A and B are shown apart, each in its own frame.
Chain A
Amino acid sequence: MIKNSMISTIAISALLFVFIFGTFFCAKPGGMGAKDILVWVSYGPDEMKVFNDIAEKWSKENKNGFTVHVAQIPWMGQESKYRTSLIAGSPPDIGRVDTTFVPELAYNQILEDVNKFIEEEAAAKKIGTNEILAEYVPAAIDSCIIHEKSGKNCIYGFPDQTNGACLFYNKDLFRQAGLDPDKAPKTWADFLEYAKKLTNKDADRFGFGMDNSLWWSFPFFNTYGTKFLSDDGQKCLLNSQEAKDALQFKVDLFRKYAVEGGAWASGGQNTETGFMNGRYAMILMGPWNVSRFKNAKINFAVSLVPEGPKGTSTNVGGTNMVIFKKKRTPDQLKACYEFLRHLTSADIQAEWGSKLRQIPVNLKAYDKIKIDDTEEASILKVFMEQMKTAQPRPKVLKYAQLETLINPEMEAALSGAKTVEQALNAACGRIDAEALK
């Protein structure tokens, strides 16, 4: 009896404790003042160090006395975090978001258009606004620009990170196949010849490992000159001849020439793992895996995506820094813009690229990058070169929906369940009906 009543007393006391003192141990709500700017970022530990330094220096040096406060949020679940903070009416001033999230935020009219500040800056510098936009990697700045139905172009923030895929190849496997490890395939025709030589099924080795998602298929579509959407953004054009040729080539790599090792199929060894284990001699991959492959002691090199009928090109990924609409003074809003311009300036981007081995978003920073490791420097140079011809992703409200609609169709083509034409017609039909309606 005594034991039971003791347990009950303890339990009720604990509940009361949580109710009454639950807030006691928590950080008190940090009130943001008129001279404060709150930035939410989802960087990794190394990036955080560099970003914090940049923010701290700017806070000390900006002449209007604004202070940038940086808060780290996890990449995973960040969209839910932004959505709920918007519901609560407490979004940050500036947030780092995936490029594909920008159209949805813009559609809901919760982002600040920075056009007027760009115009003011251009007028002060006596240059055209286009000159300011031309500082940035074209595909990266394009992800910030939303064409309104009224014909107006709104610019929602600036890109802070950009990336795309290049061709990674295993130099040791090139040597074993009698290929020159310093000479990467220049065109898709060369690529096919290389892949044939590199494939040795007895040794469970394939010339190529490829992913099947839309994002990873863009290098194929783009090099064949495929246009994804009509100019008004109302119709999917992915059943054009260029798109069919691009997907046919992709399908042939697996089905006709059997030089692709099935990395795209469920249960297949994915491209990264297969490349690290020597199963795939060539893969398309982004810069984020360079250090991982180096740590794993893979003897590899990086080259431009092989040229198709329209030359070399790649996909574009990355993140943008956007300014959320909220109650603030005009000076605060201007300070947000100035901080973003500072973050994406040539000098800061050169510092960012040099320290983190990442592609700068500012083209003027390309020549200012200083990396001691010559191998890493040359790899970054290839990526920077590739980004000049990268094509922006189609801007739709929900990009993930496009992937959901088209990926099963491409898989059907790869597995032989549908012809390329059937697959692309079906994908276009579904995209028109479900994503663009």
Chain B
Amino acid sequence: MMDKANESLVKYNKQITKAILYAFLTLGALVVLFPLFWMILTAFKVSGTAFKLHFFPNAGEKLYTFENFSKVLSEFSFMKYFFNSIIVASLAAIFATAFSCMAGYVFAKKEFIFKEYLFYLLVATMMIPGMMYLVPQFVITIKLGWFDTYQGLIIPHLANIFGVFMMRQFMRSIPDSLIEAARLDGASEWQIFTIIIVPLAMPIIVTLLLLTFLFHWSNFIWQLVITKPGSSILTLPVGLAYFSGPHGSEWEMMMAASCFSIIPIAVLFLVAQNFFIEGMTKGAVKE
């Protein structure tokens, strides 16, 4: 009888704990989703009413509209900016990740003179704010004749020290015995890298790919300065900036365009979420 009572008490306690946990998670989810909800709501609002804190229209009042979306697609060259951003962010993310992966492997598993010094020298450059690079990088790009070109948008950012650091740290945890075994089996260096290292490092590679994509998808200042005004290769962050003026922004239009602009990021995260979560938590686990 007592056991049964205890059992039901434990069950009851578990349910209470679960309920509290769910309540907190729901609250957390609401906090996280609120900006998204606000963005979508504002995208449907009539011009000038973004900050009006009433949500139900009075009689005869027009508070919501689809006009912002149609304007974004018709008057604003959204598809052009979107297409350019896809090209720039995808290529930059793919190649920056590939180069980081290769460099990370070399720093993790190869031996050469001054390796450690060189690595820490590279890591030290991460302490220099990115804005400091803007002018020298701009001048070099101009001298290469890449002003207002896809090369100018993509290539200057392919060397990603943070990516090299991430890859090196992860690849150090891959046992050397695996590489030696592959070598004994007659695998070439390229085969070791592509068949052994890359599959094992896939979670961190996908994580870096997503982070780099995200960086280039929202990189405003470089994409602004390296393109000509009215250029055919303007990207989305620059395009969205046209909605802002000296005295505020056209929030409703900007939010409508943002609704479209988050689609690729959302799709990427949904597709790669398992890898991403694994990659983010990998470093926390100690063998």
Contact = CB atoms under 8 A, between A and B. Distances in A.
Contacts of A293: 48
A26 B94 contact: no
A356 B66 CA distance: 25
Interface string A1-37: 1001000100100110011001101110100000000
Interface in B118-149: 134-135, 138-139, 142, 146-149
Nearest to A89: B142
Contact of A26 (B52, B75, B148, B250): B148
Contacts of B46: 295
A26 B241 contact: no
A27 B242 contact: no
Given A29-B148, A84-B138, A87-B139, A44 B245 contact: yes
Contacts of A273: 51, 53
Interface centre among A26, A98, A294 (most CB of B within 10 A): A26
Contact of B241 (A19, A77, A88): A77
B225 interface: yes
Contacts of A317: 246
Interface in B174-194: 194
Given A75-B244, A75-B245, A88-B142, A80 B232 contact: no
Given A4-B194, A18-B91, A286-B247, A26 B225 contact: no
A29 B147 CA distance: 9
Interface stretch (A66-74, A257-265, A299-307, A340-348): A66-74
A383 to B, nearest CB: 13
A223 interface: no
Given A14-B91, A18-B91, A23-B151, A74 B238 contact: yes
Interface in B221-260: 221, 224-225, 228-233, 238, 241-242, 244-248, 250
B171 interface: no
Nearest to B47: A295
B95 interface: yes
A302 B146 CA distance: 51
A17 to B, nearest CB: 9
B49 interface: yes
A297 interface: yes
Interface residues of A, number: 47
A60 B96 CA distance: 49
Given A22-B146, A27-B148, A44-B245, A276 B51 contact: yes
A267 B98 CA distance: 44
B154 A22 contact: yes
Contacts of A203: none
Interface centre among A8, A44, A272, A292 (most CB of B within 10 A): A292
Given A11-B94, A27-B228, A18 B154 contact: yes
A124 interface: no
Interface in A344-363: none
A289 B47 contact: no
Nearest to B88: A18
Contact of B225 (A22, A84, A289, A319): A84
Contacts of A297: 61
A288 B53 CA distance: 20
Contact of B95 (A15, A81, A286): A15
B135 A22 contact: no
B275 interface: no
B80 to A, nearest CB: 11
A88 B246 contact: no
A22 B98 contact: no
A26 B231 contact: yes
A26 B84 CA distance: 11
A151 interface: no
A87 B95 contact: no
Given A25-B233, A26-B150, A84-B225, 16 more contacts: A4-B194, A11-B98, A22-B154, A27-B232, A29-B148, A73-B229, A74-B238, A84-B135, A84-B138, A88-B138, A273-B53, A276-B51, A288-B246, A289-B248, A291-B48, A295-B46
Interface of B: 46-49, 51-53, 61, 75, 91, 94-95, 98, 134-135, 138-139, 142, 146-152, 154-155, 194-195, 220-221, 224-225, 228-233, 238, 241-242, 244-248, 250
21 contacts: A11-B94, A14-B94, A15-B91, A15-B95, A22-B146, A22-B149, A25-B232, A26-B150, A26-B231, A27-B233, A71-B228, A75-B241, A75-B245, A77-B221, A77-B224, A84-B135, A88-B147, A273-B51, A286-B247, A289-B247, A297-B61
Closest 4 CB pairs of A and B: A295-B48, A74-B241, A71-B229, A22-B150
